[in-house]
Homo-oligomer: A and B are copies of this chain.
Amino acid sequence: MPPRRTRPTLKDLATRLGISESAASFALNNRPGVSEETRRRVLALAKELQWAPHHAARNLAGITSMTVGFVLTRDVQEFGMESFYLRLLTGAQSVLSDRGYGLLFQMTRSVDEELAVLRRWSEERRVEGVIISDLRRGDPRPAFLAELGLPAVLAGGPDPKKLLPCVMVDDAEAMRLIVDHLHQTGHRRLAYVSGPGDLLHVHRRIAAFKQAAAGSLATPGVVGTDYSDEQGVAATRQLIDASERPDAVVFDNEVLAVAGVRALRSAGLSVPADVSVVSCEDSAICMALQPSLTAVQRDPTVFGEAVARKLLRLVHDEPEPAVEAQQPTIVIRESTRQR
């Protein structure tokens, strides 16, 4: 590999054209102050020499860093939700790069680490704003970000203290869609295998589930998990071993659902003949499985796009609502059947 070329600077352009740096700068930034003729010459030479502004220099001279950050703390969710996040990232990324923004991405192992990263990014003036997700009960991040004064958007709110603007999916509505569908198809004993209860969206879903299924809750109605395959199996087993076996089980995501279907089968139960199954998260797996899984759909790519757009508006001080919601839809497949 050849040594990295020393890149041409603005001064190089200017001296080669016999003009001042400022003139060149004006030309390149499409600013008044130079003749069309000069502008043309500068642009041509810049193209020829493959000149591009030094990012750090530009940044230092007052232009913003044109970068936003995305931190993701993953622990128990190690094996779940993977496709969700990459698709979220995809969506956010496409909006950002369209507007010339870069995305600095970091994964951390704990919330403390995440706070440290956010602080560093902010202090170093490395990012103009950040995207965060997975708010938990008592989460320190909203207050922390507010104190830093770092623009931030929560992917998946709402923030109970309203410190953070967010793009959320209407979890209650999602649950209602599911329960309504199950009711309409004649199910009378519903159960829910949820994620970790300290995740706020899980908390909301549980509440919504209990409310929507009020008259038709199996016992136990809700069993929590850490999103792992093992706990998905265990929770499902617990439900079917109970005196009042459910005729439909809702799973918080597709990983749990897949585990659940397996557990049901190995207990001699058929899906959907004996028990119907619904996943709160859709993905290729839900479609590919046999039986294919009825699921709530919320396109993570579109979601990511909305989050990125919101963050950019925030960064540019454009007026906007604090909370933005996406409507989920339900896709009915083979895993739920009329009773």
Given contacts A57-B60, A124-B55, contact A289 B258 (CB under 8 A): yes
Oligomer copy total: 2
Interfacial chain B residues near A89, Cβ < 8 Å: 105, 107
* Interchain CB contact (< 8 A) of A54 among B7, B80, B125, B163: B125
What residues of chain A have their CB less than 8 Å away from a CB belonging to chain B?
Answer: 1-5, 7, 50-57, 59-60, 65, 67, 74, 79-80, 82-83, 85-87, 89-90, 93-94, 97, 102-108, 117, 119-120, 122-126, 145-151, 163, 229, 255, 258-259, 261-262, 265-266, 284-285, 287-290
Q: Which of B1, B105, B229 meets A151, CB within 8 Å? A: B1
A332 to B122, CA, bound (A): 48
Q: Which of B52, B104, B146 contacts A104 (CB 8 A)?
A: B104
Per DSSP, chain A at the interface is helix
Question: Once bound together, how far apart are the Cα atoms of A80 and B79, in whole Å?
Answer: 16
Q: Which residue of B lies closest to A93 (CB)?
A: B107
Compute how far the CA of A140 lies from the CA of B102 in the bound complex, rounded to whole angstroms: 23
CA distance A54 to B126 in the complex (A): 8
Q: A52-B123, A59-B56 are in contact. Are A1 and B284 (CB under 8 A)?
A: no
A129 to chain B, nearest CB (A): 10
Q: How far is the CB of A299 from chain B (nearest CB, A)?
A: 12
